Structure 1
Amino acid sequence: MNIPNILTLLRLLLIPVIVVIHYLPYQWTYIAAASVFMVASFTDWFDGYLARRLNQTTPFGAFLDPVADKVMVAVALAILIEKFDSPLMTTAGLIIISREIVISALREWMAELGKRTSVAVNYIGKLKTAAQMGSITLLLLTKSDALGTGLVGFSGLALLLIAAVLTIWSMMVYLKAAWPDLTPFKDEK
């Protein structure tokens, strides 16, 4: 067990904390839930940085880190979909969650073929993640009657829509890279 893996486990442990805090019957819960999510999001960047910097990458960490990220984002988006009861929020949230499932399956398939590196994380995926984490933090900070109003609510919704577009774009990049291995027929010349 090393520091990056501990940070990844901490991120997983913070997921139910975010949910419990969000549903507590107090006025301050939206600020607390957003703060815990922001800390968890920061550990996503920090554990990867430390793993590379300290040369502490492990198979366990390589497996658990993306799982923690995807579960954290999916749970937070589920909270936000319920919180805002908005077709726009639901559509953007489901696009993001669906993409994560598709890309996880694609990476697993490509790993079976020994070509996992052809669907490695790219720059668009990193931008998508940053937009997701920022938007979710802002939307957790937004009161349920203020979606799309006020600077925080409007910024959170706009950033979520940007994240949804980047989500589709990055998925297309990954699928294009994997397409030759996914198509049933290859030129036989």
Structure 2
Amino acid sequence: QSLPWLLVILKMAKALNRGAQKPVSISMGPPDLSDEESQANYMPDFLRCEACTGISERFATTLQKNIDKSKAVKSGKKELGEEKLLEIFEGICSDKEWNGYGIKEVNGKKRIVYPGSDAEDVPGIMQGGGPWPRRLSDMCHSYLGEYEEHELYTTYVQKKTKGLKKLLCSSVCRSSSKSSHKKKKPRKTEL
């Protein structure tokens, strides 16, 4: 079972040693997590921006898959219905949907890693499971509490992934980078 991992590590070391005058050593291990990172019920502040980016990309990917299922919706003649949008977003935010997400140390910095992230293919050991799916699910549900599903959908249709990321993450990413400028987002109205 561990033989394939050993082969991958040996191949990486061999590739890194090509052209090097001195042999290069590789050391890998799971990220060293603080108590907050490993046990808290919430997403640590310094990871919230990257987590939000992962959530917005997940929204975009799932919406596009559903748009592509209907020629009329894909062509812009129809929209996805309210019931379908509720089903889509509730499905996205369920805990089990976040199992492929986790944390990895990349160049000495802890990063949220998810399918399609720039840190996904960087060599290293990702720690998934544990509190990470629940934290991402909780953040995902908080966005559904803040924005109407139809608003998220129309933002994606009009502005694609970049628009969703701007809508959801601009204030989160500003506060993660210690900026004092916070912009209030429109609140979801209940029936």
Q: Please report the TM-score for the alignment, with normalisation by the length of structure 1.
A: 0.30
Instruction: Give 1 or 2: higher helix fraction.
Output: 1
Relative contact order, higher structure (CA 8 A, sep 6+) = 2
Q: Please report the TM-score for the alignment, with normalisation by the length of structure 2.
A: 0.30
Instruction: Give 1 or 2: higher strand fraction.
Output: 2
